[in-house]
């Protein structure tokens, strides 16, 4: 059973989370629901630091024993940091999707995009009707 989605972040329909870290930077990753649907994560293709990303466009990949899934940028901006720990231990995403399993930090070029994402309550409603 997926852990409840924390209220301190915003969510996409594609199951990414974005946590405003103050200023113009967010941390992002996939939700606990997403890692549960993927099952055992075996590889994370991280984006390159410095890469410019556009909201809702794929910029990373998570591979599990079950499937390969694109990770979509929750906001537009520039990748300023990636979670190098995932290269050696991708299973961290399964163990702590909302914490140590973060994927990247993005410096937002349009901070207002964050306001267009779902709240935790809206996301919980979204996954209740999502196909399993």
Q: Give residue-wise pLDDT tens across range 87-128.
A: 999 999 999 999 999 999 999 999 999 999 999 999 999 998
Cα 62 to Cα 68: distance, rounded to the nearest angstrom:
6
DSSP 57-123: SEEEEEEESS-EEEEE-SS-EEEEEE-THHHH-TTHHHH-TTTTT--EEEEES-GGGGGGSBPHHHH
User: How sure is the predictor about 23, in pLDDT bands with cuts at 50, 70 and 90?
Assistant: confident
Q: How far is CA 62 from the centre of its chain?
A: 10
pLDDT of residue 131: 61
Q: Is 2 exposed, middle or buried (0-12, 13-18, 19+ CB in 10 A)?
A: middle
User: pTM score > 0.85 for this model?
Assistant: yes
């Amino acid at each position: 059973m997926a852990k409840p989605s924390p209220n301190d972040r915003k969510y996409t329909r594609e199951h990414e989370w974005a946590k405003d870290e103050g200023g113009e930077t967010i941390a992002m990753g996939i939700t606990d629901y997403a890692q549960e649907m993927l099952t055992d994560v075996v590889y994370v293709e991280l984006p390159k630091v410095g890469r410019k990303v556009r909201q809702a466009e794929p910029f990373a990949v998570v591979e599990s024993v079950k499937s390969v899934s694109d990770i979509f940028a929750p906001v537009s901006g520039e990748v300023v940091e990636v979670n190098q720990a995932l290269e050696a231990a991708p299973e961290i995403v399964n163990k702590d999707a909302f914490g140590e399993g973060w994927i990247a930090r993005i410096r937002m070029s349009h901070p207002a995009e964050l306001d267009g994402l779902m709240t935790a309550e809206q996301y919980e409603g979204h996954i209740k009707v999502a196909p399993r």
